[in-house]
A and B are shown apart, each in its own frame.
Chain A
Amino acid sequence: MTRLALIGLCAAVIVVVGVLTMIRTRRLQERHALIWLIGAIVLGTLAASEALLGWIADLLTIRYPPSALFLIVVAFLGVALIDCVITISRLTDRNRTLAQRLAIVEERVAQIEAREAEGRTTESRAEGTT
């Protein structure tokens, strides 16, 4: 086994174990973990199999196979990052909508409470006169 294969496999195992631990401790949702697990498995497989990596490097006309591995890792990180940014955008959107709904509902509650308080004072005043 080459040193590259060893390093690649170690990295893959660390990512898989780390991600699984974070899922277990509920710091990471399965939905977001999937992309990292797939990435780690692909990295491990390519690092371990010189033949497969060589074939892919050939296909991409990259003379030095480990460069192909780097390219794939960079591409994967790009995808993971975009996934992250999309998630942040969606959360920002929902956060704003929630803030708006909260503001509207609170104002409505305040109106209802004010009306009720007004009703109560006129009631008690009516009772006082009788």
Chain B
Amino acid sequence: MPHEPTRRQAIAGLGAALLASRARPAMALGAASQLDVAEIMLPSGSTSRPAAWSRMLYELIQTTSVEANPQAVQLAPDDPALFAHPFSVLVGVDGFDPLSDRAVEQLRRYLAYGGFLLLDDGTGSPDGPFAASVRRLCRRLFPTRPLSPLPGDHSVYRAFFLLDAPLGRVAVSDVLEGVTKGPTTPLMYCPNDLSGALDRGPDGTDRYPVVPGGGEQRRQAKKLGINLVMYSLTSNYKHDQAHVAELMRDGKLE
């Protein structure tokens, strides 16, 4: 199916590049249709890192064709407004109390009908109290589908960038975990504190040091953030046959 570009295609590609260089800024029909981040706030155990998500969305806008509104809104898990924000995060810094039945029911519907939730472990400890709370929550949301490590060929690792590991502020785990339903994984758990790597202080400097990889690890964390957003929009698109075949031909996949 893939084929070498012809001379005609090469000329067409050059034309496309020239046209793209004068492309207007992308915007949806109304800001409400643009992608943003909903931070789910709990009475205890969670935190808000809007600057981290703004940075992630800014990187997304600069790097990809996705139209985004680089802001984060804070919502309770049972707030119906959650349904206006299909990409949501829950950043944990400690264990949290069990959610109300109403909140669990809403989250379940949110994830079942197209929402995406990233559970970001700000503690940097995959065996810590936040992780335990996450697993307890997942059992309530998906009683028959446990939170499991995502395989190395999962689409989230190739949604835009090719990633070897899901690095964040720390690198305590080589894998993301998630709950997969059919062809999609609507819930993922990142043990490496992604938002910690992206967060910035009021002066615009990085809020936390990234260990052990320093600047390069922070760069990888940006790539992970972009991949997570791209995955939430395209799900298993990168597993479509056309992509797999071409990436293998280019030597990017084995």
Q: Answer yes or no: are A and B bound together in one complex.
A: no
- Spell out B's residues near A (CB within 8 Å): none
